[in-house]
Structure 1
Amino acid sequence: MNRTWWALGAAALAVGCTQEQQNQFGRGVQNWTGTNGVLEIYAGDKVVRRFVRVDKLSTAIGTSDNESRAYRYGYGVLDENLNFVADPGEKKVYFEVGGYGSYVFFENPR
């Protein structure tokens, strides 16, 4: 019976939340489950930037027109030495990637 009340309460809260609040909750759950993405940005065939511990890439949406923008954004640790590890001193940062650039997003193999 206790589980039923908890489920009903959670459902009521979800209905009352805005879409952004629901998205933030979903990102929290995704982070908790251990998503460990890598974003590599290329100049030609060379990796020029790498971000590790990326939970997800989001597509920007216009506030007034609700249209998708031509870039992605997210948070991750800037892997300055390109070793796939968040070393001491490497910080978590916000990033944006142009929709027309060369990049690859994948799960960290380590």
Structure 2
Amino acid sequence: MTLRQVCLATCVAALALAGGCTQEQQNKISRDVQNWTGTNGVLEIYAGDKLVRRFLKIDKMSTAMGTDDGRARNYRFGYGVLDENLNFVADPNERKVYFEISDYTNMVFFENPR
């Protein structure tokens, strides 16, 4: 078998296995792959209808897990460039920072269209 045939057989097997998964399992696999490959995410935080913070170049956001009980906490965290002037550009004076957001935060997270 050639390398190409092995790759094709592996892909077919992976698709067959994915087809047998529930939708929830498929979504988890998709998130795992996306977290592994990374994205160019943007997080916008709103106070009412006004944009108050924007973070750029986010590769992933994670859910905090409890140390003792292993249960998901009600906040997310990650790293991104704080877009202080909200111009959608990571300017030289804007640095990568750690952030945490509550489940109750009025926010939008999306892949940077630029």
RMSD: 1.6
* Offset of residue 30 of structure 1: 2.2
* Offset of residue 84 of structure 1: 1.2
Residues 1:56 and 2:63 are matched in the alignment? no
**SS in structure 2 of the partner of residue 97 of structure 1:** strand
Residues 1:102 and 2:102 are matched in the alignment? no
Q: What's the counterpart of residue 88 of structure 2?
A: 84
Distance 1:101 1:57 in 2: 14
Q: Does the 8 Å CA contact 1:78/1:91 hold for their aligned counterparts?
A: yes
* Equivalent in 35, 44, 56 of residue 48 of structure 2: 44
Residue type of the alignment partner of 1:73? F
Alignment gaps of 5+ in structure 2: 4-33
* Offset of residue 109 of structure 1: 1.5
Residue type of the alignment partner of 2:37? Q
Q: Does the 8 Å CA contact 1:51/1:78 hold for their aligned counterparts?
A: yes
Residue type of the alignment partner of 2:102? G
- Equivalent pairs counted in the alignment come to 82
Alignment gaps of 5+ in structure 1: 4-25
**SS in structure 2 of the partner of residue 73 of structure 1:** strand
Distance 1:106 1:83 in 2: 16
Distance 2:98 2:51 in 1: 19
* Offset of residue 52 of structure 1: 0.2
Q: Please, what TM-score do these two structures have when normalized by structure 2? A: 0.67
**SS in structure 2 of the partner of residue 100 of structure 1:** coil
Q: What's the counterpart of residue 74 of structure 2?
A: 70
- Structure 1 stretches of 4+ with a deviation exceeding 3 A read none
